[in-house]
Amino acid sequence: MADERWLIVGLGNPGKRYENTWHNLGRLALQTLAERHNLSINKIRFKGLSAEGFICGQPVLLLAPETFMNLSGESVRQAAEYYKIPAERVIVIYDDIDLNVGMIRIKEQGSAGTHKGMKSIIYQLENESFPRIRIGMGPRPAGDLVNIVLSKISKSDYKIVQQSLDAAAESCELILQGKIATAQERYNQKKELD
């Protein structure tokens, strides 16, 4: 029998070196969500750091994989299998170089695009029918993407980034309440957050 809990995943890379980098926007948004609900993501399990609790009356497992990005699916699969959480109750939050800074997008399902962490999750779950929240870090520059995505978020960008993290956390709350369409209407139409 499937568990009624939700699995909310914030993608990023582990370790001090990657803290506050663009590629860790998913982890930062997950931390923002946890703080809004007095949860601490500090329990080591499922190849990641986790927290359990309730958000909007729904039982949740928050998970920050401690694998590197390209292996995130291993962590997600372990947690989903352990609790028998179906894919449609998995929410993944991650960075997107093809969205400008200050933008987020919520989708009910879809492909991984160019994101290797999402490719890993879809491969491990053998399913792409789960909600996801993409947080903009673009526009996509010419040249080496690795140096861009692994660079630290500048102080000048952090104010707009924090607005995106708050919007992503609110979007999770709306999804948990069965209001994904409301989240999409609120954030998918906006060019950039104010």
Q: Which residues are bridge partners to 95 per DSSP?
A: 135
The letter for the amino acid at 38 is N
The answer to whether the beta carbons of residues 175 and 29 sit under 8 Å apart is: no
- Domain boundaries 6-187, CATH class: alpha beta
* Residue 135 C-alpha from the chain's centroid: 8
DSSP 110-175: ---TT-HHHHHHHHHHT---S-EEEEEEESPPSS-HHHHHTSBPPHHHHHHHHHHHHHHHHHHHHH
- Catalytic status, residue 115: no
Per-residue pLDDT of the chain (194 residues; tens, 9 = 90+): 556 999 999 999 999 999 998 899 999 999 999 999 999 999 999 999 999 999 999 999 999 999 988 999 999 999 999 999 999 999 999 999 889 999 999 999 988 787 889 999 999 999 999 999 999 998 766 667 777 777 888 898 889 999 999 999 999 999 999 999 999 999 997 656 55
CA proximity to 135, closest of 179, 176, 71, 91: 91
**What is the model's pLDDT at position 110?**
86
Q: Write down the catalytic residue from 8, 12, 22, 23.
A: 23
Distance in Å from the first CA to the final CA of the chain: 43
Domain ranges of the chain: 6-187
In angstroms, the CA 115 to CA 118 distance is 5
The full length of the chain comes to: 194
**Phi, psi (degrees; rounded to nearest 5) at 62:** -90, 135
